[in-house]
Amino acid sequence: MRTYGCKVIAMAPPAARRRNPRGQGGQLRDEIVTAARELLIETGSDSAVTLRAIARKVGIAAPSIYAHFDTPDQIVEAVVTETRSLLVRQLETARAGAEDTRERLLADCHAYLVFGAEQPELYALLFSRPRPRGSSTTEERVDQAVHQLAPIVGETIASQLAPAEAFSILLRDVADAMHDGTSRAEDALGTATALWAALHGLILLRARIPRFPWPSPGPLEDEIISRLALLEGPAPDDGLLGTPGR
pLDDT by position in tens, the chain (length 246): 444 343 433 434 444 445 555 445 579 999 999 999 999 999 989 999 999 999 999 999 999 999 999 999 999 999 998 998 899 999 999 999 899 999 999 999 999 999 999 999 999 988 886 554 444 444 455 455 445 544 544 444 444 444 678 888 998 899 999 999 999 999 998 999 999 999 999 999 999 999 999 998 889 999 999 999 999 876 555 455 554 444
Query: What number of other Cβ atoms are within 10 A of residue 185's Cβ?
Result: 19
Domain covering 80-228: architecture: Orthogonal Bundle (1.10)
Tell me, what's the pLDDT at 167? 87
What pLDDT score was predicted for residue 245?
A: 45
Q: Which of 102, 35, 101 is nearest to 62 (CA)?
A: 35
Residue 86: what pLDDT?
92
pLDDT score recorded for residue 237? 52
- The residues spanned by each domain of the chain are 1-70, 80-228
Cα dihedral sign, 123-200-237-189 = negative
Which residues, 6 or more positions from 230, have their beta carbon under 8 angstroms from its beta carbon? 183, 184, 185, 191, 245
Angle CA(80)–CA(203)–CA(140) in degrees, nearest 5? Answer: 30
Q: C-alpha distances in angstroms, 231 versus 203, 212, 227?
A: 22, 28, 7
